[in-house]
Structure 1
Amino acid sequence: MKAGKLAFIIACIISRTAFSQTTVNVDFSKEMGPMKISQMALGQGGLSEEPMLSKHITEIRALHPAVIRLFVSEYYNVLPEKGKYHFTTLDSTVNNILQTGSKPFMSFCLKPKVFFPVVDHDIVEPNDYEGWEQFVYDVVRHYVDKGAGIEYWEVGNEVDFGEDGGTPYRFKPESYARYYKHTVAAILKADPKAKVGGPALANYKSPILPELLRACSAEKIPLHFVSWHNYDNRPAFIRSQIDYVKEMLKGYPDLHPETIMNEWNMHLFNPPLDPRFQPCFVMETIWQMKDAGLDWSCYYQVRDWYVNYDTFAKIFSAHGAAFMSRWWNRQAQFSGLIDYQGYIRPAYFSFKLLSRMAGRKLDLHTDSKTVHGFATHDPQLQMHNMLLWNFSADSVKVKLQLKALPKDMMVRHIVLDAEGGSSDENHRLRPDPFVNIKKGDQLVEVTLQPWAVHYWSFE
């Protein structure tokens, strides 16, 4: 390609750093199957019974997550007293999720006083399992009758961690397996089409998961998915957890659960403060997840939210209520795609670009350890899309070999700008002018700055 036709590529020169080099190959003639990018989804909570998502329906809908994981927590007060149900508050949040075009992924963390009269996260099994099963049945059946289309029901949240994980349970392996058996029986009685699973571990090496697998295999208990969480600045380490869980599952060939990392983000205590890091971290982590064969993920979270001490004082111990209040009201937070004041953070635009990777995956490969990407053919919008990023503190020169472009196309190049002061989409996703490119094979060069994220559309 002549130099004049490189106008849609930004060549970034960093004088202080010697560039490394790599080659990226994209074959537009090789479609590799459905991309399923919408399964790299989102989560929200469990922080409040208030409508945390209601003011951001449009922004969330633009990301096209297939599911939004919701903590079905005791502050929703679903069973205020025996035989009396209150669904109005929980329904409001479920309806907000449905308005985004997503389906709720229900993490069942209810612990009503009818079954748990003492507030203690080490009291984990209800005082009446028969009554408990009826209660679970009624909750699930309520949403079946509403036609909410909920498919996934998760039994508990961070069941190995207790109140310090924002959950009212701290199980032992045997007690969780027993509780899981009773709870999923009720869920599937109410909705035989539901998918059930857990245990949403804080520590992926917790002994709760192997005991759950053993019990489900031995007793033929349904287990449609296994789930766990991680917060770490190293996408490759997050990938190693996927490999670890998948290796464990090989020991139970009669079980065929999906794998779901339904909370993840940067390290909660020591996140990098460079604003360019998190948007690129999102890209690299999702690439590692997809490359490792993870079925689903839920980024935590959509929006950060101040908690009410009095809300948690009713359902947690004094220690637990204090911890939740300190953590969310006094600690610097970087989790939400939308901040406390309702402003969109740069990482939101990573998911905005990822949502454009709809359709069928194209063959894109590189030998680089830091430069990765996605490319797709979107037959619905009749276009092709490509993402490249550099998960590194050093700049990289990339030879980009585009093979078998199917026709002459208009190309738009966009750079994600995480450092600019405006959250206007045209500032965060900074566009170059459209240029024309010929069909066939093309070779272009681009320099990716540290933590850079670049996108191209081909129309």
Structure 2
Amino acid sequence: MKRKIITLVALLLAGFACADVNVNPDKVLGPIKPMNGVNNGPGGPYGLGNSQIRDNFDDYKAAKIPFARTHDAAFSECYGSEHTVDITAIFPDFSKKADDPTAYDFAITDWYLKRIRQMGTEVFFRLGQKIEHHVKKYGIMPPADFKKWAKVCEHIIRHYNEGWADGHQWNIRYWEIWNEADLDVKTWNTNPRTWGGTEQQFFELYTITAKHLKKCFPNLHIGGPALAGNEQWADRFLAHMAKEKVPMDFFSWHIYTTDPKKIAAKSERMRTLADKYGYEKTETILNEWNYIRGWTDDYPYSLKTVHGIKGAAFTAATMIACQNTPVDILMYYDARPETPYNGLFDFYTFQPLPAYYSFYAWSRLAGLGRQVEAKADEEDDLYAVAAKGDDGTLRVMVARYNENDNINRPKNVKIHMANVKDGEVTAHMVSSVKLYSETILSVKNGVASVKLEPNAVVVVEAKL
């Protein structure tokens, strides 16, 4: 007791705060979920004979990213710009017949999706259009014929999954209808960015498309609507879908914030909302999220944060927080090379940034398969998750995240790991001075201690 008191006093005098993480490898909670999905694929050379070599293929593949959603791919020159993914890119002349193979231009989208698949990543295909911020709108207006639009989507799916129109047998499972139709509820007829029609028009388009696609492809996951954030709109949307008996394999939604706990809380609300309208078996998928303090004056600060260690800590903390909520899949926005939202890869070199290692660390957990109990002290800034494998490997991921930039004291975190023998364990640290750097920690009485900066991530690996 005397020695513990002396140690505690010494830490306090040294300016350290203290916290505990308790890991119980015997208590299995379920699978490690795919919290490390992203929007979009790797960046690299494009076109034939391009000698300007710059890519992130090896690092992207090493992160074992489970899903890449294709929204906003048309902004990226690496992916084919305006010639890729969007419905208006693949089927540019809406006056042509939906079942005419010559009406479709799949070339660059084929090339882009093939590159994603080469990474070992599953394509999550968004059927619709990129966001449009300019004074003139091109692809976000309601289609002239909703039934025909649904048939166009059908033939795109047939191309990628059934080989139609010199296509492929790629078994792309997830198909999402549109993106953020709720974003401009008040300005849809003056300055829309994602949907230039009324709410009821979108409900009709979704209803027709979902029913048609589910009839054609009963084994695929058809869903949406990629909710921007308007929960009242979401309630009306789900009420309409339930009334019209529209099948929905997944309900997708978005959030941008500075607080992982707010994301976790919203995942609970989205699950409750889907259940309210009879969609208890429908997956809930958060497929756009990132750190944003504000969209105006704080916007530059937000983007700078995304690229740094604070962004990495926020990313890891969000993954950990959501692992313990009902949300089924997460997809970070964005891995697209040219966007300032990309906290994974540097704009100029495509080399990994700090947040990349949060994704890499999560893949190491997912590789073990089973989540086991890990509880951090009831403090605002500490998040913990653990997993074990059949070979007795235990990995514990701890993130310390602080939105308050005035917090600067390090924290001594004691990780209590039941059934781990005394000796040494390997740890990998992500901090202001380390990028997944390996270090050795001593274990005594099943406890390993590590010092964490206000924003940092550590992964500890031990044998049971």
The answer to whether TM tops 0.5 is yes
Which of 119, 137, 159 in structure 1 is aligned with 2:181?
Answer: 159
Structure-2 residue corresponding to 1:42: 38
SS in 1 for 2:64: coil
* TM norm structure 2: 0.77
Which of 448, 453, 459 in structure 2 is aligned with 1:455?
Answer: 459
User: Is 1:32 matched up with 2:29?
Assistant: yes
Matches within 5 A, 1:5-16: none
Distance 1:415 1:385 in 2: 13
Of residues 156-165 and 94-103 in structure 1, the stretch that sits farther from structure 2 once superposed is: 156-165
Distance 1:194 1:249 in 2: 19
Task: Pick closer, same or farther for the CA change 1:404–1:48 going to 2, 3 Å.
Answer: closer
User: Is 1:352 matched up with 2:360?
Assistant: yes
Please tell me the root mean square deviation across aligned C-alpha atoms, in Å. Answer: 3.3
SS in 1 for 2:105: coil
Distance 1:235 1:430 in 2: 25
User: How many Å apart are 1:187 and its aligned residue?
Assistant: 2.4
Q: Deviations over 1:6-43 (max 9, x none)?
A: xxxxxx9797x84333222111222222112x343111
Task: Pick closer, same or farther for the CA change 1:204–1:287 going to 2, 3 Å.
Answer: farther
Distance 1:165 1:94 in 2: 32
Matches within 5 A, 1:11-410: 18-36=15-33, 38-44=34-40, 55-71=55-71, 75-76=83-84, 77-81=89-93, 82=96, 83=100, 84-110=103-129, 119=137, 123-124=141-142, 126-145=143-162, 146-161=168-183, 168-207=194-233, 209-267=234-292, 269=299, 270-271=301-302, 273=304, 275-305=308-338, 333-341=340-348, 342-358=350-366, 359-369=369-379, 370-379=381-390, 383-392=393-402, 393=407, 394-405=409-420
Which structure is higher in RCO with an 8 Å CA cutoff and minimum separation 6?
1
Identity rate, percent: 24
* TM norm structure 1: 0.78
Task: Pick closer, same or farther for the CA change 1:287–1:211 going to 2, 3 Å.
Answer: same
**Is the contact between residue 129 and residue 139 of structure 2 (CA under 8 Å) also seen in structure 1?**
no
Task: Pick closer, same or farther for the CA change 1:395–1:184 going to 2, 3 Å.
Answer: same
Task: Pick closer, same or farther for the CA change 1:99–1:121 going to 2, 3 Å.
Answer: closer
How many residues were matched structurally? 399
**Is the contact between residue 441 and residue 449 of structure 2 (CA under 8 Å) also seen in structure 1?**
no
Q: Name structure 1 gaps, 5 residues minimum.
A: 4-11, 112-117, 306-327, 421-426
Task: Pick closer, same or farther for the CA change 1:39–1:399 going to 2, 3 Å.
Answer: closer
User: How many Å apart are 1:245 and its aligned residue?
Assistant: 1.8
Q: Deviations over 1:365-421 (max 9, x none)?
A: 123222221111122x6522111122233432333222123x67762122113x34x
Distance 2:424 2:119 in 1: 31
User: How many Å apart are 1:218 and its aligned residue?
Assistant: 1.4
Q: Deviations over 1:313-354 (max 9, x none)?
A: xxxxxxxxxxxxxxx6xxxx2434112222221110111111
Distance 1:453 1:234 in 2: 16
